[in-house]
Structure 1
Amino acid sequence: MPALLVPAMAAAQAQAPAQPGGDLARVGAHLRGLAAMTADFTQTDRTGKTLTGTLSLKQPGKIRFQYAPGVPLLVVSDGRALSFVDYQVRQVSRWPIGGSPLGVLLDPRKDLSRVARIVPSGQSDVVNVLVRDPKHPEYGAITLAFTQRGDAPGGLLLQGWVALDAQNNRTTVRLANQRLNPPLSDTLFRFTDPRRDRQR
């Protein structure tokens, strides 16, 4: 599985002492209340290689990482499966949505108390949540980083994440220019299969 789908902004949350589960409940409220989002992203892998592009998210289960022109890659979920498309070598790899740490973003009904915990950040305006399914260590782990934003669901805004796959490969994704709940067509979460389209 591509490393993007599995790593860390150093663990994080440091708010004044909150009630147990308080910030985790806010993260859950954010994920359930976020119908759609777009953002610019910067992705850095364990070797320091950086790629940029545009993220589009629509609930339930749809996401698209559209890389900048010249990068022949696409990561997209149509609500059923997550696909990694490499147009250069004309390959498509697919996984169930739940088989990736990104599943926490794609399934807002997930019970976070079973797979997630708040981790300290040392910053009063940052909430970090580590998600790891103890029953499925092969899925890797992801640390989501949020900042406070009063007009966003749960009072939080997703700033990015660090994913760690089962081989300990780390990928950091940082978001900018987030736009909450824009209208997004379902056609955005489809793709041209390079195994059929030899012209791509």
Structure 2
Amino acid sequence: MTRRFFYILLTVALAMYAGMASAQQLSLGQISQYLNQLQTAQGGFTQINSDGTLSTGQIYIKRPGRIRFEYNPPDESLVMAGGGQVAVFDPRSNTGPERFPLNQTPLDIMLRQNVDLSSERMVTNQTYDGTATTITAQDPEHPEYGNIQMVFTANPVELRQWIVTDDLGTQTTIILNDMTAGGTIGNILFNIRAEMRKRGQD
């Protein structure tokens, strides 16, 4: 009984140690390295809108500079970034997407060619809750563009969710699920003009 009790204690201790080892605060260097190595990824997402409503869909990321949100019914909108532009397609409109420069949005921080979160005034806040590391970043030259709050877990480092606060103070939360990094994603998914032609808007 004594030996069995010892093994039980040892198993519990090892499990606790493993849990503690997997939960660690990430440095800005580790997070920057993770983002720079993340070339492609895809999976599902849940979006919490500023009015509290929920949307779901599929997300495709191809760094640098490309991201695509395909929204499930009943929304069925499409948001994509490519060629330095962000385009918002409304399925109820035939006049083409609303477009604006990617570098004037907080998403540009995550999608740029070289992410260096340790640069001066890039990160305005960093916290750790015992499970995840959360950083808030903004363009130091243009804080008026808003900011992005990204949540990461460790071992392995993974991006779990982000909150974008735009230039009007509106917040949108994206929670990632079943994300798979790597693999081939065609550039056509991020081609705004090709999407316009597909919709008869070109």
TM norm structure 2: 0.77
Structure 1 residue matching 2:144: 3-state secondary structure: helix
Which has a greater percent of helix? Answer: 2
Task: Quote the Cα distance in structure 2 between the aligned partners of 1:51 and 1:129.
Answer: 24
Higher relative contact order (CA 8 A, sep 6+): 1
Task: Quote the Cα distance in structure 2 between the aligned partners of 1:79 and 1:129.
Answer: 27
1:135 and 2:138 matched: no
Per-residue deviation, residues 32-72 of structure 1 (Å, max 9, x unmatched):
10010002110011211110001100122111001113324
1:24–1:118: 8 Å Cα contact kept in structure 2?
no
1:48 and 2:52 matched: yes
2:135–2:150: 8 Å Cα contact kept in structure 1?
yes
Give 2:10's aligned residue.
none
1:31–1:108: 8 Å Cα contact kept in structure 2?
no
Describe how 1:16-27 pairs up with structure 2 within 5 A.
Answer: 23-27=27-31
The sequence identity of aligned pairs, in percent, is 29
1:104 and 2:114 matched: no
Q: Cα distance 1:178–1:195, how it changes in 2: closer, same or farther (>3 A)?
A: closer
Give 2:15's aligned residue.
none
1:167 and 2:168 matched: yes
1:185 and 2:189 matched: no
2:109–2:139: 8 Å Cα contact kept in structure 1?
no
Task: Quote the Cα distance in structure 1 between the aligned partners of 2:115 and 2:88.
Answer: 23
Residue of structure 1 aligned with 2:92, choices 75, 88, 92: 88
Segments of 4+ moved more than 4 angstroms = none
Residue of structure 2 aligned with 1:145, choices 144, 147, 151: 151
Task: Quote the Cα distance in structure 1 between the aligned partners of 2:198 and 2:190.
Answer: 18
C-alpha root-mean-square deviation of aligned residues, in Å? 2.2
Give 1:19's aligned residue.
none
Residue of structure 2 aligned with 1:197, choices 187, 196, 200: 200
TM norm structure 1: 0.78
Per-residue deviation, residues 153-173 of structure 1 (Å, max 9, x unmatched):
xxx101011111222211111
Structure 2 residue matching 1:158: 3-state secondary structure: strand
Q: How many residues align?
A: 174
Task: Quote the Cα distance in structure 2 between the aligned partners of 1:102 and 1:74.
Answer: 16
Structure 1 alignment gaps of length 5 or more: 1-13, 17-21, 151-155
Per-residue deviation, residues 62-97 of structure 1 (Å, max 9, x unmatched):
110011133241111124211111121234122222
Structure 2 alignment gaps of length 5 or more: 1-22
Q: Cα distance 1:179–1:196, how it changes in 2: closer, same or farther (>3 A)?
A: closer
